[in-house]
Amino acid sequence: MPPRRQPSIEPAPESFLPLPRDTFHILVSLADRERHGYSVMQDVAERTDGQLRLSPSTLYASIKRLLDQRLIEELAERPDPEHDDERRRYYRLTRLGRRVATAEARRLERLLSDARATGLLAREG
């Protein structure tokens, strides 16, 4: 493929919202560290108590879209050479990806606080 040029103006994070459920979980799982595909899958399954199980196909469909949207990027080097399988690809959030994930988290937070304000949910503490 011919090399893509970086767009000069980054799109507004809000233009990606609301994020599809799978997408948000993948971004969250990449928020603290770089991961390879299976690690993302395990992390998501763990955090959701096995509620959300991504299949290899759906996982990579999301990864492909996130790469196209420049929300994540592939690492050129292996982060953890000792435990690394050299064939695996690692991904991390881009700056835009992080901003989008944050924006989505805020949106959800606002939604949550709205739910609390109306008494739909019990207040914390």
Footprint on this chain of another protein (rule: CB under 8 A):
1-2, 37-38, 41, 53-61, 63-64, 87-89
- Residue 78 or 99: which CB sits closer to another protein? 78
Tokens matching residue 50: 């096995």
CA distance 85 to 87: 5
User: 119 in the Ramachandran plot: left (φ > 0), alpha (ψ -120 to 50) or beta?
Assistant: left
Whole-number minimum distance, CB 98 to another protein, in Å? 23
- Residue 59 or 93: which CB sits closer to another protein? 59
CA distance 8 to 15: 17
> Helices 21-29 and 95-117: crossing angle, nearest 10°?
120
Whole-number minimum distance, CB 49 to another protein, in Å? 16
Whole-number minimum distance, CB 112 to another protein, in Å? 30
- Residue 83 or 87: which CB sits closer to another protein? 87
